């Protein structure tokens, strides 16, 4: 399913309405909490967080009543209430209130323990994903998972008792969203299966239903239609048993996603319409608005722009009175696309400026790249080629700027969090052993028994971790290593980088998807992977860098040998078409390459800088008409290597004689520029 749809349906699953929820007052909560245990308080908070998705004011009032009733409050009580306030604020996209709750949770960690820090990450992840700041949300979600794991995965009853299974479930769910946004379906699947386990452990059939529905859409994205069918049928069965209209609508919306992935657009449209109708009948305005926008997007797929505008009009009344920046952005985007499809270009361009301004100010680079990819082809189809070219240029700048080290730094922070927590738990265990007054022989026997069990568990854990690492560091479609694998390998080798780098981008890949379908596009990517492997040696590294980009890293070699390898890589594309579903698809590639250390560059060039140079060379190949390879032979040592403007800098330097670039074409000699 699309990333936008997965994020849009992050909504919590509502419980059936009842009198307590409709008429909750401070007095009612005081009475209900008079003899409540800590677990009952957590359950009450969870119920209010769910209520807050449709009724944030009522939920906040209920939380305030709980807070007043819970006096004096233990650190765990305070934790539960702060998480409740934070999640309700995040779901309503109130950044200041969310930040206040997260800050209070961090301060509470001194008395409640590190799990309060994990709570803060969970609250922040909810806010970031709601606002489509997916990159930040991904880091926060993984930090939350890392913080909860020592408790929620523990066999120690004292530690496990501190785990709120609802919070654990949503942390895993957000981590799956982040992995899906990175197109890492293997990691997303792992997180979702863990979320399903957490749902079962919590005893909540509603959470189990939600996880099952999402797994169905993921299975369909992996082309496992049979598994997707079984999972979505199971989700419908669970939803029917709960007799909850919100849950039924939720599962119906994911049925639409599964059908959309199968390109059964009319059936998907019917599913979204059913989801919207169920939500409207139950008075669930926010969900009905979400499903109306999904319905509008499906009408666009069916080339029904007038019906798209009608569906989006249903969303306007709710959005006019509620703080829903993400939904409003999507509505404006789809309205712009529908106007362009209708030939109402002037109206569409007026909307376009607002759409881009909103995405630029409210979202991260992934969402901005996505909207530019949606709007550019639509502008071109409507006849505005200059406008389409402008959007394409903006997209390329964003793609280049995204090749920075922020993700690596963030992941280092997460790894440090895991390491610190493990050290703390080990210290606690050591203190318990040292303070135990047990007879010497018995103590030795017990320690031996525990040690043997621990060794066995460590072996199991190592085996699981190896399997997980294999999944996480390899691309599930092509079987090639992925970016995470290469970054780990480069980090282990250390700086400076030495060797030859080739960045390969399949030409006109979007046109292949548009003309032949995404299944054929996947077949082309798999064929490219096999052809590259056939050209390279076993010790060479070939990585699916992302989308239709591949990166090849080989040991240092003379430039002349690198040119020969570049020719072989180009011929791997153009020598024969790819056959997919009986259709012959011609392919070619644009390549940028260099051998490091590069003549003229500063000594000790790091991998990121080396990659930025071959990336700029690859764009130079695109500008030379594609189906060619640009080699950077030398650079002026004082040339500024600003990543954000490197392609333009490199082209200008070649024109000024401050850089030597050789352009090679299949079976042709080099042409210096």
Say if residue 549 is in the same domain as residue 467: no
Alpha-carbon dihedral sign for residues 282, 284, 287, 292: positive
657 backbone dihedrals φ, ψ, rounded to 5°: 80, 15
Say if residue 456 is in the same domain as residue 368: no
Kindly state whether residue 80 falls inside one of the protein's structural domains: no
The CATH number for 559's domain is 3.30.70.270
Kindly state whether residue 149 falls inside one of the protein's structural domains: no
For the chain, what is the domain count?
3
pLDDT in tens, 132-154: 677 777 888 888 888 888 888 88
Say if residue 341 is in the same domain as residue 453: no
Say if residue 550 is in the same domain as residue 613: yes
Kindly state whether residue 382 falls inside one of the protein's structural domains: yes
Distance CA 268, CA 265 (A): 5
Lowest mean pLDDT among 431-445, 525-539, 629-643: 431-445
pLDDT in tens, 85-128: 989 888 888 889 989 998 999 898 888 888 889 899 998 888 88
pLDDT of residue 265: 92
pLDDT for residue 3 is more than 60: no
pLDDT in tens, 45-86: 888 888 888 888 888 899 889 888 887 778 888 888 998 898
| Average pLDDT, integer, range 537-554 | 91
pLDDT of residue 452: 47
Q: Which domain holds residue 642?
A: 481-672
pLDDT of residue 457: 45
pLDDT for residue 499 is more than 50: yes
Say if residue 526 is in the same domain as residue 592: yes
| Average pLDDT, integer, range 614-634 | 93
Say if residue 368 is in the same domain as residue 513: no
Residues near 485 by Cβ (< 8 Å), separated by ≥ 6? 473, 474, 543
Which of the listed residues 367, 395, 410 is the one where a domain comes to its end? 410
Residues near 1 by Cβ (< 8 Å), separated by ≥ 6? 217, 218, 220, 221, 254, 257, 258, 260, 261
Distance CA 84, CA 59 (A): 9
pLDDT for residue 287 is more than 50: yes
Distance CA 495, CA 492 (A): 9
pLDDT in tens, 179-208: 877 767 777 778 888 888 888 888 888 888
pLDDT for residue 468 is more than 60: no
Say if residue 538 is in the same domain as residue 642: yes
Say if residue 486 is in the same domain as residue 448: no
Helix 165-181 to helix 38-52 angle, to the nearest 10 degrees?
40
If pLDDT is split at 50, 70 and 90, which confidence band does 38 have?
low
If pLDDT is split at 50, 70 and 90, which confidence band does 603 have?
low
pLDDT for residue 266 is more than 90: yes
Say if residue 663 is in the same domain as residue 529: yes
Say if residue 564 is in the same domain as residue 612: yes
Kindly state whether residue 207 falls inside one of the protein's structural domains: no
Say if residue 504 is in the same domain as residue 616: yes
Angle at 637 between CA 632 and CA 640, to 5 degrees: 85
Kindly state whether residue 72 falls inside one of the protein's structural domains: no
Distance CA 351, CA 338 (A): 11
Among the listed residues 168, 154, 164, the one whose alpha carbon sits nearest the alpha carbon of residue 39: 164
Lowest mean pLDDT among 333-347, 466-480, 541-555, 615-629: 466-480
Kindly state whether residue 524 falls inside one of the protein's structural domains: yes
pLDDT in tens, 289-329: 999 999 999 999 999 999 999 999 999 999 898 888 888 98
pLDDT of residue 427: 59
Distance CA 14, CA 599 (A): 63
Instruction: Compute CA distances 586 → 221, 346, 566, 578, whole Å.
Output: 25, 37, 19, 6
Say if residue 567 is in the same domain as residue 668: yes
555, 558, 562, 564: CA torsion to nearest 10: -130
Kindly state whether residue 98 falls inside one of the protein's structural domains: no
To the question of pTM greater than 0.75 for the whole model, the response is no
Kindly state whether residue 47 falls inside one of the protein's structural domains: no
Q: Tokens 């012959």 appear where?
A: 584
Computed over every residue of the chain, the mean pLDDT equals 80
């Amino acid at each position: 399913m699309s990333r936008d749809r997965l994020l849009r349906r992050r909504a919590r699953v509502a419980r059936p309405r009842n009198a307590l929820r409709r008429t909750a007052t401070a007095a009612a909560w005081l009475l209900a909490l008079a003899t409540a245990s800590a677990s009952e308080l957590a359950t009450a908070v969870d119920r209010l967080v769910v209520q807050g998705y449709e009724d944030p004011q009522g939920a906040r009032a209920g939380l305030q009543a709980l807070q007043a009733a819970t006096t004096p409050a233990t650190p765990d009580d305070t934790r539960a209430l702060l998480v409740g306030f934070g999640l309700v604020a995040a779901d309503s996209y109130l950044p200041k209130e969310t930040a206040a709750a997260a800050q209070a949770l961090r301060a509470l960690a001194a008395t409640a323990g590190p799990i309060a820090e994990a709570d803060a990450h969970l609250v922040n992840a909810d806010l970031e994903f709601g606002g489509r700041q997916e990159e930040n949300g991904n880091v926060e979600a993984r930090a939350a998972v890392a913080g909860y794991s020592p408790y929620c995965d523990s066999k120690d009853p004292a530690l496990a008792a501190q785990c709120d299974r609802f919070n654990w479930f949503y942390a895993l769910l957000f981590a799956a969203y982040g992995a899906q946004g990175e197109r890492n379906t293997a990691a997303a699947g792992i997180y979702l299966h863990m979320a399903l386990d957490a749902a079962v452990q919590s005893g909540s059939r509603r959470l189990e239903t939600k996880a099952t529905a999402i797994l169905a859409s993921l299975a369909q994205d992996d082309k496992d239609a049979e598994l997707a069918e079984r999972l979505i049928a199971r989700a419908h069965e669970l939803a029917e048993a709960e007799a909850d209209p919100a849950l039924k609508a939720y599962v119906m919306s994911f049925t639409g996603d599964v059908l959309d992935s199968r390109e059964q657009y009319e059936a998907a449209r019917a599913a979204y319409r059913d989801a919207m109708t169920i939500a409207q009948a139950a008075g669930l305005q926010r969900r009905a608005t979400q499903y109306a926008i999904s319905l509008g997007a499906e009408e666009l797929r069916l080339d029904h722009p007038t019906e798209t505008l009608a569906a989006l009009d249903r969303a306007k009344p709710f959005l006019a009175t509620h703080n829903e920046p993400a939904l409003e952005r999507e509505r404006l985007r789809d309205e712009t696309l529908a106007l362009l499809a209708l030939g109402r270009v002037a109206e569409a361009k007026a909307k376009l400026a607002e759409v881009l301004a909103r995405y630029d100010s409210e979202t991260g680079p992934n969402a901005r790249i996505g909207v530019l990819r949606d709007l550019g082809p639509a502008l071109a189809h409507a006849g505005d080629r200059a406008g389409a070219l402008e959007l394409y240029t903006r997209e390329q700048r964003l793609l280049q700027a995204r090749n920075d080290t922020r993700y690596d730094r963030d992941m280092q922070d997460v790894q440090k969090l895991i390491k610190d927590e493990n050290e703390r738990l080990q210290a606690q265990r050591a203190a318990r052993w040292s303070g135990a007054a047990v007879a010497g022989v018995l103590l030795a026997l017990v320690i031996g028994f525990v040690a043997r069990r621990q060794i066995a568990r460590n072996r199991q854990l190592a085996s699981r971790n190896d399997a997980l690492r294999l999944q996480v560091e390899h691309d599930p479609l092509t079987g090639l290593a992925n970016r995470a694998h290469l970054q780990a390998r480069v980090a282990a080798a250390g700086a400076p980088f030495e060797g030859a780098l080739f960045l390969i981008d399949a030409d006109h890949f979007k046109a292949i998807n548009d003309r032949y379908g995404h299944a054929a596009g996947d077949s082309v990517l798999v064929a490219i992977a096999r052809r590259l492997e056939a050209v390279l040696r076993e010790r060479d590294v070939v990585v699916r860098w992302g989308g239709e980009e591949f990166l090849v890293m080989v040991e240092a070699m003379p430039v002349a040998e690198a040119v020969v390898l570049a020719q072989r890589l180009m011929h791997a594309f153009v020598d024969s078409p790819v056959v997919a579903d009986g259709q012959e698809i011609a392919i070619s590639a644009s390549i940028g390459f260099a051998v490091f250390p590069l003549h003229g560059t500063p000594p000790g060039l790091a991998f990121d800088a080396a990659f930025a140079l071959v990336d700029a060379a690859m764009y130079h190949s695109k500008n030379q008409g594609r189906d060619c390879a640009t080699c950077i032979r030398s650079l002026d040592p004082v040339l500024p290597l600003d990543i954000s403007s490197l392609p333009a800098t490199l082209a200008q330097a070649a024109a000024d004689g401050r850089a030597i670039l050789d352009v090679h074409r299949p079976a042709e000699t080099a042409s210096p520029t």
